[in-house]
Amino acid sequence: MDPRHERLAELLIHHSTCLQAGEHVLIEAFDIPESMVIAAVKAAKSVGAHPHVTLRNNRLQRALIEDATDAQVATQAEYDRFRMEKMDAYLGLRGGNNANELAGLSGEDQKRWSTGYQTPVHFQQRVNHTRWCVLRWPAPGMAQSASMSTESYEDFYFRVCTMDYARMAQAVEPLKARMNAADQVHICGPGDTDLKFSIKDIPSIPCCGNMNIPDGEIFTAPIRDSVNGVMQYNTPTRYQGNDFANVRLVFKDGKIVEHDADKGAEHLGAIFDTDEGARFVGEFAIGFNPFIMHAQNDILFDEKIAGSLHFTPGNAYEDANNGNKSSIHWDMVLIQRSDYGGGTIAFDGEVIRKDGLFVPTDLQALNPDHLGA
């Protein structure tokens, strides 16, 4: 067995989910090498926990979603939610050779699956009632997107995924304190990004290897109707099997009132019309993983890019709840480093990050030259 698999499995069990003796963990693996799944099973058993495994295939998943009936989706959701209710922890190990496997599915099929399955099983049960961690497994297509050889990309992947997350967790505490004390946020950036909103009294949640691998962000949510201005994302994004570039959103009193994109604009209306909450924002987060500097076109990596932020239409997390409910949760990323056009984040008039680097002394331990040293 590749020793890197064993190290990663140990991190997932001991750090990410803090699995204890007697607890139940669901390991849901999509197109993952058996050796990694076995490593996770063994790591769970080593602490006296009870592992449960579901193996899924992305091509089969597409076949299930396409032209599915309401009865089919409802029955599968009922079955999987019942099982999730028995779990203390969840590991989502997600691989696949084709990131666009769901491309071409009808909007009706996507909505039926999102509202009928994803919402009850994952948004309502797994996210709110288990200790969960989702991991993206490296695939040749990811190496190609990153313009790297497969071997180089795998080395990069395991370096990012097994970094010192305990050190990161310590470094983020001053930022957590500042966000918890803040009211007004002002974001300026490339394009015509100029956005203001309030985060007053909504908790800030650090993510340092305990929800995603790779990790490196802190999230909260804007007060639902406080968002006004323009957000123009400069990172490519993929959602519901479709690719988007340079998405631009205009907000008025919290609601998306205009939307456009250089690529994928024809799909935006259907996504934001999924339900009422789809046009409001459920998450604001700041990324700071020192080893992720450029987009991979994979959100589990891209939302952690050093010097980035993401501003997410759709469902709010219960831990930082602004009351917005939706069957979508679409993380889109703005990179504010100088090599991407620069930009600032200010809390109550104080600039806390400029051109991707934290400015106040108590936050500088989160900059790449410190955190990645």
DSSP string, 83-136: HHHT-SEEEEEE--S-TTTTTT--HHHHHHHIIIIIIIIIIIIIHHHSEEEEEE
365-373 average pLDDT score: 90
* One domain, residues 130 and 18: yes
In a domain, 313, yes or no: yes
**Are residue 75 and residue 188 in the same domain, yes or no?**
no
170 and 96 within one domain: no
Of 93, 119, 137, the last residue of a domain is 137
- Domain shared by 233 and 323, yes or no: yes
CA atoms lying within 13 Å on the CB side of residue 90 = 25
**pLDDT band at 141; cut points 50, 70, 90:** confident
How far is the C-alpha of 68 from the C-alpha of 78, rounded, in Å? Answer: 15
User: 77 falls in which pLDDT band (50, 70, 90)?
Assistant: very high
CATH number of the domain where residue 43 is located: 3.40.1830.10
Please check whether residues 92 and 182 belong to one and the same domain.
no
- The residue-averaged pLDDT of 73-94 equals 97
pLDDT tens profile 9-30? 999 999 999 999 999 999 999 9
* Domain assignment present for 156: no
Residues 117 and 213 in one domain: no
Domain for residue 144, yes or no? no
What's the Cα-to-Cα distance from 216 to each of 42, 170, 286, rounded to whole Å? 27, 12, 9
Q: Considering its fold, how many domains does the chain have in total? A: 2
Same domain membership, residue 331 and residue 259:
yes
Looking at the structure, do residues 62 and 208 belong to the same domain, yes or no?
Answer: no
The tens digit of pLDDT for each residue in 180-231 reads: 999 999 999 988 999 999 999 999 999 998 888 899 999 999 999 999 999 9
Query: Which residue carries 């993510």 as its tokens?
Result: 207
Task: Show the domain range for 20.
Answer: 3-137
